[in-house]
Structure 1
Amino acid sequence: MRVLALLALIAAPAAAQPVDTSPAAARRVIERYYAAIERGDFATAYRSWDGEGQASGKRFAQFRQGFATTAHSRVVTGTPVDGDAGMSQRWVDVPVEVYAVLKNGRRQHFRGRYTLHRVVEGTGAPASQTRWHIAKARLAAIR
């Protein structure tokens, strides 16, 4: 009898981990995005954008090529600001300072914000859509 109970526990599906939908989770998406870029994991960075990368406005090869001259990059994120909340949609803006060093040694500094988007849970959307994804970026070069 004990063996059957143990087998039932082993065979039981693992409880789904709740999705963190807090503004702090949106901030971490941006931090993980830049960490992926820094380690050359452009596929992960690309998938950080809504629509499995489509919201970046580029095909994957173009996206990856956009970082061809970048040696290093890092981001400093600010406090997320709640954006619009529409029907079953949530938006948040994450202010950023981005620092990059090109392969030729030139340094770059950008300031701006990323807007992140997610679908509200319980709407029938797949779990992947209830997580924060980058919807758009507005960055300007600082001299």
Structure 2
Amino acid sequence: MMTSMFVCLALAGCGADPDRSNQTTVARDTETTAPAAESSPASTPASTPASTRAPTKVALTSGPSSKPVASTPISSELLSCNAEIGEAAAAKRVAMCRDVSPATHPPCNAVNSCAIIEDEIARSCALFDGRGTPIAGCEPAPKSMEAAAAVVRRYYSAINARDYATAWTQWGDEGRPGQTLAAFEAGFAHTRSTRVTIGALQPGDGGAGSIYQPVPVTVDATLDDGTQQRFRGTYVVRRVNDVDGASASQLRWHIGSAQLKRIPAA
């Protein structure tokens, strides 16, 4: 039997509006399911302006099987930061979030995913850094390669927590260009978990007022039927170079493009 799914490598971001009270925990009741296997990703040149880049999607298609593969339904419930890293560690992240966030109602609450809390910290640190006022505790430094790589880590952290809205906005304020949030979420219906390993970082390139930072990755995914998949490739993460007049969303890193290729699982 031939089954298929689409893993859409999309979404990231932080809202330009400092009031993020609408970005709190959202329970998801519905989710579809299906195994997968082989990828043929589209690529986008890192030098292409973000506004003209084509959306990147990795299409996964399984090989033939003699019988249907039974799969265990994946919970659609959002994984809270408390549940992910424990109450003590979550409380520290929440405290840092509240210390740095200028938002009236920031998403600094341990019942939210760790990803959205970390996203608010990164957004706030980048905003104040761009104004020449670094904040103690903002690590890694907002302009650093490590801060760029943290976007990719946060992206997969959000996917694992089933916080697809936060994952989706890692591509920018409006999410991944050319794809709705619902389509993005559906693409991970059969993905039980993912793990990203960041490779050695090299200095990125600047151009047209922006900095482009390549982030090499190896991504291991487990599907709902237990199938293991591995992908290797590069994300290109982007931010503005000139801080004068830049908004919070422009000052922080966001995913600009991705190119991943399926390789044999370990």
Q: Give TM-score scaled by structure 2 length.
A: 0.46
Is this contact kept in 1: 2:209–2:240, CA < 8 A? yes
Query: 1:17 — aligned with what?
Result: 128
> Which of 126, 132, 151 is equivalent to 1:29?
151
Partner residue, 2:256: 135
Partner letter of residue 257 of structure 2? K
Cα deviation code 1:75-119 (max 9, x no counterpart): 001122333311311100000000000001111000001000111
Tell me what 2:186 maps to.
65
Percent identity reads: 43
Give the Cα–Cα distance (whole angstroms) in 1 for the partners of residues 222 and 176 of structure 2: 26
Runs of 4 or more, structure 1, over 6 Å off, are none
Deviation larger for 123-132 or 97-106: 123-132
User: 1 or 2, which has the higher helix percentage?
Assistant: 1
Q: Choose the corresponding residue for 1:46, options 165, 168, 182.
A: 168
Check conservation: 1:50, 1:117, Cα contact below 8 A.
no
CA separation in 2, counterparts of 1:91 and 1:111?
19
Q: Which residue of 2 aligns with 1:103?
A: 224
Letter in 2 for 1:139: L
Structure 2 runs not aligned, ≥5 long:
1-101, 103-126, 131-141
Stretch moving more, 91-100 or 16-25: 16-25
Any idea what SS the aligned residue of 1:81 has? coil
CA–CA distance in structure 2, aligned partners of residues 52 and 129 of structure 1: 13
Amino acid at match of 2:180: R
The answer to whether the Cα contact below 8 Å between 1:113 and 1:138 also exists between their aligned partners in 2 is: yes
Deviation at 1:51, TM superposition (A): 4.5
Count of aligned pairs between the two proteins: 129
Please give the TM-score of this superposition, normalised by the length of structure 1: 0.82
The secondary structure found in structure 2 opposite 1:52 is coil
Structure 2 residue matching 1:79: 3-state secondary structure: coil
Letter in 1 for 2:146: A
Structure with the larger RCO, 1 or 2 (CA within 8 Å, 6+ apart): 2
Look up the SS of the partner of 1:50 in the other structure. Answer: coil
Change (3 A) 1:114 1:131: same
Separation (CA, whole Å) in 2 of partners of 1:38 and 1:54: 18
SS at 1:90 equivalent: strand
Q: Structure 1 stretches of 5 or more lacking a match? A: 1-13
Which SS does the other structure have where 1:74 is aligned?
Answer: strand
CA displacement 1:47-100 (0-9 Å, x = unmatched): 100353134x42111111110000011100112233331131110000000000
| Residue 246 of structure 2 is aligned to residue 125 of structure 1 | yes
CA distance in 2, matches of 1:17, 1:124: 13
Give the alignment's Cα RMSD to 1 decimal. 1.9
Aligned partner of 1:8 in structure 2 is: none
Q: Does 1:74 align with 2:195?
A: yes
Would you tell me which structure has more strand in proportion to its own residues? 1
TM-superposed deviation, 1:127: 1.7
Give the superposition deviation at 1:41.
0.4
Would you say the 8 A contact 1:76–1:97 is kept in 2?
Answer: yes
